[in-house]
Amino acid sequence: MKSTIKHYIESCPWCKQYNVTCYKRDGHLRPIAPPDGPFLLIVIDYCGPLKRTPRENQYVLVMTDRFSRHITVLALLNSTAETTAQALFNEYFCKFGIPAVILSDQGPHFRNQLIGNIKILIG
């Protein structure tokens, strides 16, 4: 019976298409060295889309300082690169300074457009 099941799975087109081994394996995780002081390395990520608030906000941007564990949370209308850059500049950089490193999950709102928009805001 074991060989019959194995043969069925190997010949099944659905099994071949959705088999986990067909996907690229994740790389090894590497530890992130702790920063030398506060507000030098921040980690940013979005939560959402969530239920709209009365002010039409649907996303939450979470910014965490890796040294002090200080958390800044902002409710935003959307998660575009432009909105993210504006929020980082107004609510983080102007209050705590520009960090040396910004870590993210490389989501669509954190790609190259974000850095371009931040450069425009900083000048």
DSSP characters for 59-123?
A: EEEEEEETTT--EEEEEES---HHHHHHHHIIIIIHHH---SEEE----GGGSHHHHHHHHHHH-
Number of folded domains that form the chain: 1
Residue type, 60: V
Divide the 123 residues of the chain into consecutive groups of 10 and give the mean pLDDT of each group.
79 68 66 88 90 93 93 92 86 90 77 71 71
pTM summary value: 0.68
Strand, coil or helix: 41: strand
* pLDDT at res. 76: 93
* pLDDT at res. 16: 66
Domain that holds residue 73: 41-122
Q: Is there a domain that residue 25 lies in?
A: no
Strand order from edge to edge, sheet including 101-103: 71-76, 59-65, 41-47, 101-103
Q: Is there a domain that residue 46 lies in?
A: yes
* pLDDT at res. 11: 77
* pLDDT at res. 24: 58
Find the CATH number of the domain harbouring 92: 3.30.420.10
